Structure formats: C-alpha cells, structure tokens
A and B are shown apart, each in its own frame.
Chain A
Amino acid sequence: MRKTIFKGTALPLLLIAPQLLITCIFFLWPAGAAIWQSLLQEDPWGMSSQFVGLRNFTEVLAEPEWRGAAYNTLIFSTSVAVLAMGTALFLAVQADKSIRGANLYRTLLIWPYAVAPAVAAVLWLFLFHPSIGLVGRALNQAGIAWDYKLNGNQAMLLVIIAAAWKQVSYNFIFFLAGLQSIPRSVLEAAAIDGARPVRRFWTIILPLLSPTAFFLLVVNLVYAFFDTFGVIHALTGGGPGKATETLIYKVYVEGVQNVNLGSSSAQSVILMVLVIALTAVQFRFIERKVHY
C-alpha cells in the first residue's frame, strides 16, 4: 500500500478502462455465456433452446467418449509432466556439476521453448513418419510395425514425445536456477561427513528443490491440458479412432465440428473448474513458499 498517491477519479478510471473493457467483453461475457449455455439444450436444427438444468453435465459425465477423453488426458498429462520434468532435472543436475559450462549448455537447451507446439509436432513427424521419417523407417525395417496413423498407442507415444520435448527447456531453466541457489557449503559439509553424491542428491538436493518441482508440476499439467492442442491437432487430429482425443480437443470437436453447444459448454465449464482448482493449489503453495 503506497502512502503518497495522486488525486483524481476520472484519470485512473480512464487508465484502467481499456483492460477492464477487454476483460468484460472477452473473458466475463464468454465465461458467463458458457455457464448459461451449459444449462440449455438446443433442438437439432438450432431453432430453439430450452432450460434443462444440469442435464448436459450428467450426460457428459456419463458419456463413454468423454470418459475416454478424460482417461487419455490423464495418461497424456502425467506422461508429459514426468518425462519433461525427469529429463530436465537430470540435465540440470549435470549442468550444475560443470560450473563453467552451465551457461553454454543452457543456451543450447532453451531454444525449444520458442517453438510452437504445432511446429514441434511437425518436426517430430519428420522423424517418425512411417515412410519418410528416419526413425519411423528404421523401426519398420527392424521388423517393428510402426505407423502412428493406424496404431493408437504409437500415436499417443508420439504426441507425448513432441509435447514433452518442447517443455523440457522450461523445466531445465527453473531446475538449474533452483540448483544454483543451493548453498555450496551445505553440500560440502555433507561431503565431508562422508555422504556419497547419490545420497547427497536424495537427502539434500531433492528436498531443497521440492518447491521448484511442485511449482513446475502445476505448470506442466496446465501446459499438457491446454497448450498441447496444437500438437494433437497437427499430428493426429485426435485419432486414430479417438486414441489421442484429450478433453480440450473434445471441446473443440463438439463445439466446432458437431456444433453441439450445450454439451461443448458443459465440457468447457468442467475444464474451467479444473483450471481454477489448479490455480488455487498453485497460489496456496506460493503463499507457503513466502513463509520459508
């Protein structure tokens, strides 16, 4: 809270107006519309709609397709988070050991952050395409039938790799910063007491790194839920079958391709609740971190 402030009412209102206006028109109005539409059901011709209460929600939650998408999202998000965080932590620990090279390696590892998810998907397609990709062809020649356009598990594996590849750089930056902020004296004391490097990692480094890791877990999950739409849309289109259809992808399919607004809105509202929960968890955690 500042003590010295400027006087006036019209000027600050004018200054804050642009942001408030955009927020109201493009955030609050649509969010309200999503909630309202999730309570309505349109007839098949879109001529009229009637209030149906929570029926869209019960229908969505009971749908096998929605449950399938929820299951895919769970598998996809956990795999992306584990793969991206595990790789990043391992590389960050290595970079932290070589004090001189750390910054150079950071430069060489951070650029995938800038690659759009959809472009990342295209790059990995060039490697894993069954007939033009280096790895895809090698797999087929080795007798492993590889075609991500036919095999659902292979499609899932490919979108996980492409999505995780892009996210490693982000995690790496935060893990490296976390590692570099651990006082050397603590590690040296442990070394003098005879703790081997592996033991030092598990008993000192990892506990001190846990706030960073928890923060990254939330960020990675949000990334996997929402930002990876481009990866899936460009690479598999949710297929083959519905093998890589995640919740956010299903909102898109339902709303844009099937034009089923009631169901699509109900799914959007479910996702909103999910984001709000994740954000709340993150904020609680940040408050705790302040007290450390």
Chain B
Amino acid sequence: MRRTWPHLWLLLGVLVFATPIYITLIGSTHDASTIGRGDVPLLPGPHTVENYTAAWVSGGSGRFTVTPASRMLLNSTIMALCIAVGKIVISLLSAYAVVFFRFPGRMIAFWTIFMTLMLPVEVRIIPTYQVIVSLDLFNSMAGLTIPLIASATATLLFRQFFLTIPEEYVEAAKMDGAGPMRFFRDILLPLSVTNIAALFVILFIYGWNQYLWPLLVVNDRSLETIVVGLAKMIGTGDAQNEWNVIMAMAVLALLPPVAVVIFMQRWFLKGLTETEK
C-alpha cells in the first residue's frame, strides 16, 4: 500500500493538470448551441472538422471579426522564430567578442548588456512603445520582434560556455593559421550546438507566448498573433460567444509550443536549468 500512494497522488495531479485541456479538446468537437446551453459534454462530439475549419479559414462568424487561425499561426511562428534565432545569433556574436578578444570598452559593453537582465519589457512598456512609434516601426514585424531580441541571459550562457573551452583549441587553431572567424565557424559553432538547441526551445516558447508587447505595437489584423487573437475572441466572456470555435482556436494556439516541449524534452530540460543559473 505504501508503494501505491505516491502513484495515486501523482495520477491525481496529472488528472487535475489535464482537465482544462481535456474540456477544451472535447468542447472543440461540439456545436455552439450545445456548449451555449451549458450542457458541458464529456465525450467527443461530431463537429470536429467544421469547428477547426471555421477557426482555420475565417476565425469564426461571431460578432467580433477575427483573423483566421492560418494567418495568426503564421504570424506567431514568424515572430517566435525571429525572436529565438535573433537572440541566439546576436548573443553568440557578442559573447564571442567578449571572451576571445580584448578591446577598449569591453567591460562597459559587457555590463551594459548585463543590465538588461533587470529591465523586462513589461516595466518599460510605454517608453519602448514610444521609441517604436518614433522609429516608424509601429504595426510591423520588425517592431514586434527586434525589441525582444536583446537578451542578457543568452549572452551570459554562451559566455559561460566559451570560458570552458580549453586554451589548446585556440592555440591549435592559431598555429594552423585559422583566423578568428574561421575559428568561430569551424570550431566554436559545432561545439555550441547542444547549447544552441537547448536555448532555442526555451526562446521559441518565450517568443510564441508574448502577449503585452504584440497587444501594444500591432493593431493591423494581418499581423495579429494567435495568443492575442484568441484572447480578443473571448471579449467580455459573454455566454453567446461562438465557444466551440474559440475552443478550437485555443487548441491551435497551445499545440505548437506544447509539441516543442514534449518532443524536444531533453533540450527543453537542459535549456531551462542552464538559463536560470
């Protein structure tokens, strides 16, 4: 009996965690009137295809005009990829410069980057928005992604990793006549692949799940991301909403990042524990 209690508790935990998702999945297979009546079904219904088609093609026919999910998923994917790849690229380059070179202003540069750790986008939201407007980046993918690209965390992680690379590697490369960029491309990058993959998983989720920033800098429907679009569909939470399509939309919004975590679990765990050190 003592052996089974932990399992029972864990199963209960797994169940409680899965309930909201299960209800949403089931809801997305019924029609609007079934859900609107409040007869919350517990088993799948026959309307799966039409609900997901409605979400995908038109975003539903409700009172709110909504961007189709196909468009919003594309926007979210582009945004998440730009943020993840952008952060990794600029962090790799700056960490390389800080670790493998001595140049004037090196420490100042490092501390400037380091300070950004203390300024999450949420606390400087209005002034950053003003900067975007004055740079004429409002309503653009560039305005959506570039301000989120600078990250001290990724730079610190790569710096930490570069410091562990044996001196002999650099000496050997120099002796063979390899220049700094050749060393970077042929030796440093291949050695960093694991770290890059781990970081990519974390940053992709970070980018995909952005909310406040897209809400502010984009009001063009063709640039709407799915997380913001989904929340807009809820409106005031009225019972007359097209809940079946909203539920299908919710499933579409959470599927990509959840799939990334589950299928890239090893990288995800590595990334999570390394970035938070």
Give A contacts to B, CB under 8 Å: 2-6, 8-9, 11-13, 15-16, 18-20, 22-31, 33-34, 37, 87, 90-91, 94-95, 97-98, 101, 105, 107-127, 129, 131-134, 137, 149, 165, 168-170, 173-174, 177, 215, 219, 222, 226-227, 229-230, 233-235, 237, 248, 251-252, 255-256, 261, 264-265, 268, 271-272, 275-276, 279, 286
Contacts and interface: CB of A to CB of B under 8 A. Distances in A.
A267 to B, nearest CB: 9
Interface string B121-156: 011111110110001000000000011011000010
A242 B83 CA distance: 34
B222 interface: no
Given A114-B258, A251-B126, A256-B126, A19 B94 contact: yes
Contact of A4 (B3, B40, B96, B170): B170
Interface in B77-104: 89-91, 93-94, 96-104
Given A27-B124, A117-B209, A122-B250, A137 B97 contact: no
Contact of A137 (B40, B94, B101, B149): B40
Q: Which of A2, A105, A165 has the most CB of B within 10 A?
A: A2
Contact of A117 (B89, B117, B211): B211
A226 B127 contact: no
Contact of B230 (A28, A118, A131): A118
Contacts of A119: 209, 227, 230, 250, 253-254
B14 A105 contact: yes
Given A26-B147, A101-B7, A117-B211, A275 B13 contact: no
A129 B240 CA distance: 12
B177 interface: no
Contacts, number: 292
A30 B131 contact: yes
Contacts of B38: 131-132, 137
B116 interface: yes
A125 B180 contact: no
B237 A129 contact: yes
Contacts of B205: 113-114
Q: Which of B35, B96, B123, B208 has the most CB of A within 10 A?
A: B123
Contacts of B90: 18-19, 22
B150 A19 contact: yes
B113 A125 contact: no
A264 B35 CA distance: 41
Nearest to A120: B20
A30 to B, nearest CB: 4
A111 B258 contact: yes
A33 B150 contact: no
Nearest first, the 7 closest Cβ-Cβ pairs linking A and B are A116-B209, A30-B127, A12-B101, A230-B211, A123-B20, A234-B231, A255-B126
A116 B125 contact: no
Contacts of A264: 126
